[in-house]
Structure 1
């Protein structure tokens, strides 16, 4: 009987401990300043490009830009720039996601420039400082 009564307290302690370890995760940039990360499932991958772009890629509006792709169940890409809402591309053509890069651990956040992303077991939520953003998971994609 005592063990049954203690079970909720023990579960609460584990939930608290996992939240205590959640935090802001630092992911190093490449030599050109891009930052790449995937969700732990490997189904979603993102690339941050700083303002001005790189020698091989220039964001459409000059940047900064956050581009995230989902592999399954269908390949889609969402692009978030510094102004305006996110853009959902349902058939992006190129399908280069998700190489062996840093994983944004579940419960952790990443921030760079005007963007912040939070990884969870439900999916990836990214927002810009202008209030626009997106949510990507295997089940759905929402942009605002």
Structure 2
């Protein structure tokens, strides 16, 4: 078997094994319907708000909404709505991220409504139903 075929076969097996080991993690909602989770490092924290919001918070477009913040090396927040690109806020002013909530384990995924997130040692990647999303890590913050 040529080396290129062996490499392609190994890549296929590795990709399948990685996907097979990714676990979907269920995170309970609060009484108001919001879901909060952090990455294991405690550097990134997210809040999911359902469509219609809560008694204390209404998303700008009615929701649902996923808002994630990164603490280090600089505090940033990314907000993803049900449609359109994520908004990256490089100086959100507030800094209330990452309390004592459920950790989305490395290698695990979470989804609710149109949103899905994947946690890894490289960072947190989240997308909406329309393909827009973001990536947060200590090294970078990108929104699309």
Q: Which TM-score applies when normalising by structure 1?
A: 0.86
1:42-75 deviations in Å (ceiling 9; x for gaps): 0000000000000100000000000000000000
The reply to whether residue 115 of structure 1 matches residue 86 of structure 2 is no
- Residue aligning to 1:105: 105
- Residue 11 of structure 1 corresponds to none
Aligned residue in 1 for 2:34: 34
Verify the 8 A CA contact 1:106 1:121 in the aligned structure 2. Answer: yes
Unaligned residue ranges in structure 1 (runs of 5+) = 1-15
> Are 1:48 and 2:48 an aligned pair?
yes
User: Which residue number corresponds to residue 73 of structure 2?
Assistant: 73
Structure 2 residue matching 1:45: 3-state secondary structure: strand
* Secondary structure of 1:61 counterpart: coil
Q: Structure 2: how far apart are the matches of 1:22 and 1:36?
A: 20
Secondary structure (helix, strand or coil) at the match of 2:67 reads strand
Partner in structure 2 of residue 8 of structure 1: none
| Alpha-carbon distance between aligned partners in 2 of 1:21 and 1:38, rounded to the nearest angstrom | 20
Runs of 4+ in 1 over 6 A off after TM superposition: none
Q: CA RMSD in A?
A: 1.6
Shift, 1:41, TM fit? 0.3
**Is 1:86 aligned to residue 86 of structure 2?**
yes
User: Relative to structure 1, is the Cα distance of residues 71 and 82 closer, same or farther in structure 2, using a 3 angstrom cutoff?
Assistant: same
Segments of 5+ residues of structure 2 without an aligned counterpart are 1-16
Residues 19, 107 of structure 1: 8 Å contact kept: no
Cα shift at 1:22: 2.7
CA distance in 2, matches of 1:57, 1:123: 27
Aligned to 1:5: none
